[in-house]
């Protein structure tokens, strides 16, 4: 029998529904792998084994006839991980910072509550860049997030721990957040699917003011179908959000606890049939005048050929925005770094964070308002330019990898920040526009490391983006590829015993730890 982590998250849930596995089997398997490999790849900052076991046992005790009513959807009993920037009631949330090393929130983020309502089981908190400020994850509260494909390289950020955990087989999928590429950058580096939803699709509550519309919670997964299933669980409308959600595809739950019909984003991904699309392809960097690595250009060539072969019209187009956007974006990024930090703890912040906050404090209200107005002018122009296109195709990054410590090696936080801009000159544009955007692995670099491309759709067209991403994923044929650590010792193989009977309680099982 395959090891549990060889199954996708959706497959694991199906095994639970069939009575072949229990939620506690999944939890124990992944806890064993976390204990063996988390520090190696810098995946988790906080692990919650007791809470996970208890939640799994409660789920396993629910009679089969009651499960769909109490926890609708295709993720029942499957473990997940929560990014350390995301509030979790009663569970330490450090925001990736030594300044918050002992911080324990009293409330859950809406997305945490919704994932629990879908029947997922949190195993803990994944490492994140300090206050979400960087595209790498190298802080002082946990080991650096390393790329499971090459431990000398970064897993990216700010959702670096989430990507490291998924790629190493420590969790089937993970919640992340993306304010400037923070899901898509780690996904591209680690050979995963990283998704940023349309602005307003996923609640950012219950606290916070919306970050000027830049950040959004989203999934990091090994497959597009797993990402879509996780998105279905997250994309439940919540009253009071500052941005109205787009219309949902058929079958998407309208409230937490609603039954998920045979539809939603998972159905779109499973069908992998977006219809014939007009796809605009470009490779010109948008936020920096930066040479693009040949491996990243080749990945776009590969994706374009695969999409054209699927029947789509792939046409060369100019980049919708250019380097003139950068001064506007960086102004907003400086202001976003001004998260409340106790004065007595500000000295514990990393040099980059301190620099961004210093620059943010120097920005006047008038400058901020003017910047936001000019950003909207730029967005309007860009949306008019791409109005006749269903999707945009471009590189995710300007180069395939970066070594751990490369961004900070000069000791100058200003140089660190500029290197980040040049390394990722594409992703943040689509946080500004609010469009749905996904990184999909399609090729290998000359060094054998995964390389992703971005597919970006029209606002609200998340189902189309996911269907096209699934189609591209199928044609690229890379879902069975894993880094060496995937096969390392410290994993569990569950022996299936008597299937659970419909309507009955969970039966006992045994696990072998190899």
Catalytic residues: 83, 158, 182
How many other C-beta atoms are found inside a 10 Å radius of the C-beta of residue 277? 21
Q: Which of 482, 506, 499 is nearest to 3 (CA)?
A: 482
User: Are the C-beta atoms of residues 142 and 161 closer than 8 Å to each other?
Assistant: yes
What is the three-class DSSP state of 104?
coil
Q: Which of 269, 165, 194, 228 is nearest to 439 (CA)?
A: 194
Q: Which of 49, 37, 9 is nearest to 172 (CA)?
A: 9
Give 490's contacts (C-beta < 8 A, 6+ positions apart). 32, 33, 35, 36, 37
CA angle, 471 then 475 then 480, to 5°: 105
Cα–Cα distance, 160 to 175 (Å, whole number): 11
* HEC profile of 393-424: EEECCCCCCCECCCCCCCCCHHHHHHHHHHHC
The sign of the dihedral angle between the CA atoms of 282, 285, 289, 291 is negative
Instruction: Please measure the distance between the N-terminal and C-terminal CA atoms of the chain and give it in whole angstroms.
Output: 14
Cα–Cα distance, 70 to 67 (Å, whole number): 5
Give 280's contacts (C-beta < 8 A, 6+ positions apart). 315, 316, 317, 386, 389, 391, 392, 393
DSSP tag of 63: -
> From start to end of 243-329, where are the E strands?
278-281, 313-316
Cα–Cα distance, 80 to 231 (Å, whole number): 13
Residues 55-82 as b/e (b if ≥16 CB within 10 A, e otherwise) read: bbeebbebebeebeeebbbbbbbbbbbb
What is the three-class DSSP state of 366?
helix
Q: Is 98 exposed, middle or buried (0-12, 13-18, 19+ CB in 10 A)?
A: middle
Cα–Cα distance, 465 to 256 (Å, whole number): 24
């Amino acid at each position: 029998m395959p090891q549990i982590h060889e199954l996708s998250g959706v497959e694991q849930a199906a095994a639970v529904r069939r009575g072949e596995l229990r939620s506690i089997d999944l939890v124990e398997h992944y806890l064993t792998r976390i204990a063996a490999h988390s520090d190696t790849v810098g995946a988790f900052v906080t692990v919650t084994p007791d809470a996970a076991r208890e939640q799994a046992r409660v789920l396993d005790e629910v009679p089969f006839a009651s499960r769909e009513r109490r926890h609708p959807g295709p993720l029942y009993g499957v473990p997940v991980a929560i990014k350390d920037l995301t509030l979790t009631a009663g569970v330490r949330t450090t925001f990736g910072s030594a300044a918050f090393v002992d911080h324990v929130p009293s409330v859950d983020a809406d997305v945490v509550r919704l994932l629990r309502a879908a029947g997922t089981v949190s195993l803990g908190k994944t490492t994140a860049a300090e206050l979400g400020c960087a595209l790498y994850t190298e802080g002082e509260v946990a080991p650096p997030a390393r790329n499971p494909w090459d431990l000398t390289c970064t897993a990216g950020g700010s959702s670096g721990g989430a990507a490291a955990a998924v790629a190493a087989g420590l969790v089937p999928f993970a919640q992340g957040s993306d304010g400037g590429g923070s899901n898509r950058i780690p996904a591209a580096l680690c050979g995963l699917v990283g998704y940023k939803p349309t602005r307003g699709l996923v609640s950012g509550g219950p606290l916070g003011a919306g970050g000027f519309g830049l950040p959004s919670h989203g999934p990091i997964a090994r497959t597009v179908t797993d990402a879509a299933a996780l998105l279905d669980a997250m994309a439940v409308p919540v009253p009071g959000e500052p941005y109205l959600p787009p219309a949902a595809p058929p079958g998407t739950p309208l409230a937490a606890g609603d039954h998920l019909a045979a539809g939603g984003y998972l159905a779109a991904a499973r069908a992998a049939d977006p219809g014939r699309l007009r796809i605009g392809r470009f490779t010109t960097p948008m936020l920096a005048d930066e040479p693009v690595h040949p491996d990243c250009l080749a990945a776009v060539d590969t994706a374009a050929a695969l999409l054209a072969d699927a029947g789509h019209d792939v046409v060369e187009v100019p980049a919708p925005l250019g380097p003139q956007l950068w001064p506007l974006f960086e102004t907003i990024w400086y202001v976003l770094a001004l998260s409340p930090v106790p004065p007595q703890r500000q000295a514990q912040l990393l040099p980059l964070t301190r620099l961004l906050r210093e620059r943010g404090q120097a920005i006047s209200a008038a400058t901020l308002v003017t910047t936001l107005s000019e950003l909207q002018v730029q967005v309007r122009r860009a949306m008019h330019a791409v109005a006749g296109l269903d999707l945009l195709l471009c590189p995710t990054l300007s180069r395939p990898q970066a070594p751990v410590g490369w961004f900070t090696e000069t000791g100058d936080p200003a140089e660190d920040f500029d290197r980040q801009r040049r390394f990722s000159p594409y992703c943040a544009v689509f946080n500004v526009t609010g469009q749905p955007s996904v990184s999909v692995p399609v090729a290998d670099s000359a060094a054998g490391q995964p390389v992703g491309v971005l597919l970006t759709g029209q606002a609200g067209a998340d189902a189309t983006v996911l269907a096209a991403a699934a189609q591209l994923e199928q044609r690229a044929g890379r879902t069975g590829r894993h880094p060496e650590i995937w096969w390392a010792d410290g994993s569990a193989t569950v022996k299936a015993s008597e299937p659970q009977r419909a309507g009955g309680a969970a039966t006992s099982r045994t696990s072998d730890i190899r």
